[in-house]
Structure 1
Amino acid sequence: MSDEFGRAAELIRGAGALLVCAGAGMGVDSGLPDFRGDEGFWRAYPPYERLGLRFAELADPVHFQEDPELAWGFYGHRLRLYRETKPHEGFHIIRSWGKPTRVFTSNVDGQFQRAGFPDEHVAEVHGSIHHLQCFRDCGQPIWPAGPDVDIDEDTMRAVGRLPSCPRCGGLARPNILMFGDFDWQGERSEAILAEVSRWRTRRHDLVVIELGAGNAIPTVRRMSELASARTGALIRINPREPEIRHGRGVQLPLGALAALTELDKRLTAG
């Protein structure tokens, strides 16, 4: 392991730029649930276990039409949780290295922006819970989420007024790509992703740091492997699935905060 940390530190030290590819495991050290399997989801949200509802069933846009209080109970609670969560020190460690950095993430929690990364440098490929869209798709552009939604913690249902579209007054929904979602408005995410991709292809001294991205939904892993394919300059940080195909990179079987803290020690020591 020590040799792997040494290799990773050398890659970062020599990097002209960093691409951070982050999955759900990046937020675990901040106290955020990663919804890994039904049991993990139900530990985070016990009322849904009593109701027999799984994450994949709740993260379905059909509920905004059929039962909007149920839908906003789930997403409203997550919005408040993410707003109240302080990003762990690992986010700040990456920024302290002073390298030009861009982010590619499947997370919708906005933690990178809360830690000081500019919004236009963070490609959120599944959208953001901090932005809303009109459920009716009336033509209203995506807009920032407003005040917290009131939730009955026993039933996990929204109470009172639900978020509405400023143009047509109809129901609003989070600007998140959900399961079976054909109505997600991806223009905001796609515009930032396109700019991050252009930036990435111009950097010939790029090092990719992948954090907390598993195989179950491989979107982030595919990007990290694509971006590092030419050079093999990939650092994969994952406590459960750290393996890198063909050995093209450095694998660190730790959580994000522990690995970034140790890497920072190596870099500081010189």
Structure 2
Amino acid sequence: MSDLQRAAELIAAADAVLACAGAGMGVDSGLPDFRGDHGFWQAYPPYERLGLKFVELADPVHFAQDPTLAWGFYGHRLDLYRRTVPHAGFGVLRDWGARVFTSNVDGQFQRAGFADVAEVHGSIHHLQCVEPCTDEVWAADDVVVEVDPETMRAVSPLPSCRACGGLARPNILMFGDWAWVPGRSRRQLDALVEWRRGKRNLVVLELGAGLAVPTVRRQAELASAASGALIRVNPREPDVRHGRGVSLRMGALEALQALAELVAR
């Protein structure tokens, strides 16, 4: 029996599916995964000219010290994610009634029709105060940030806090971030834990989660620890430790479509 067939059997026999998704889930929709400095600069050539790396830009200090630079980066990403259409693999997961845990901040699962998503690192589609002056988090639906494509700097006016009128920032957990307001994400994670408690025959489908930031891998391994029903989909780093699951060296869309065909038989 092939690994793909073994994975399909696990899904077909399960009472519930938990999808644990990393950056690789969005690659087939055309989103960059920022894998290494070269990958980041391929997606954002102006930053290569400026000599700026992803870890440097994804630092909350810029919102205090250089807000037009900070909002240039996040404003561009906000527009990109709004314009991106989720690939067909999202529909496969929705048809299976999957619950979602993700480190992605792009909101693609919500765009694909998912109501219950645990976003462990927050969401670019929600804002908070830079300070923060309040624990309030609010939707960025009406926020449009104009970005100069040459300098990659945002053009004023910048998004403001609804409470104090000062600068707002995305409700995303950044590197070295002590000002992130975690309440929204914690409530999502609490709801996921409660859902998992009632699922005895759970299969965990890990999609595009690498080793660099292992948050999603840890969650997938934890959730599948009791049963070993883990399916790890990754074109570069698919190995499963101690044989506790099925390894598929494939991209997310290719794997989901192949699994959907086998499960439907």
Q: TM-score scaled to structure 1, two decimals?
A: 0.96
The equivalent of 2:207 in structure 1 is: 211
SS at match of 1:30: coil
Alignment check: 8 A CA contact 2:24 2:252 kept? yes
Task: Please give the alpha-carbon distance, in whole angstroms, between the structure 1 residues aligned to 2:154 and 2:243.
Answer: 48
In the alignment, structure 1 residue 184 sits paired with structure 2 residue 184: no
* % same residue: 67
* Matched pairs, number: 264
| Paired letter, 1:255 | G
The unaligned stretches of length 5 or more in structure 2 are none
The equivalent of 1:39 in structure 2 is: 38
Q: How does 1:119-134 map to 2 (within 5 A)?
A: 121-134=116-129
The equivalent of 1:109 in structure 2 is: 106
Within the candidate set 238, 257, 261, 2:253 is matched to 257
| Paired letter, 1:208 | V
SS at match of 1:103: strand
Deviations 1:82-104 (A, max 9, x none): 0000000000011123x3x2111
Superposition misfits of 4+ residues, deviation over 2 angstroms: none
Alignment check: 8 A CA contact 1:4 1:250 kept? yes
In the alignment, structure 1 residue 141 sits paired with structure 2 residue 136: yes
| Paired letter, 1:77 | H
The unaligned stretches of length 5 or more in structure 1 are none
Task: Please give the alpha-carbon distance, in whole angstroms, between the structure 1 residues aligned to 2:91 and 2:208.
Answer: 16
Task: Please give the alpha-carbon distance, in whole angstroms, between the structure 2 residues aligned to 1:238 and 1:131.
Answer: 29
The Cα of 1:140 is off from its aligned counterpart by 5.6
Alignment check: 8 A CA contact 1:109 1:130 kept? yes
Alignment check: 8 A CA contact 1:140 1:167 kept? no
Task: Please give the alpha-carbon distance, in whole angstroms, between the structure 2 residues aligned to 1:133 and 1:115.
Answer: 24
The equivalent of 2:77 in structure 1 is: 78
Deviations 1:69-90 (A, max 9, x none): 0000000000000000000000
Task: Please give the alpha-carbon distance, in whole angstroms, between the structure 2 residues aligned to 1:204 and 1:139.
Answer: 39
SS at match of 1:8: helix
Q: TM-score scaled to structure 2, two decimals?
A: 0.98
The equivalent of 2:189 in structure 1 is: 193
Structural RMSD (CA)? 0.9
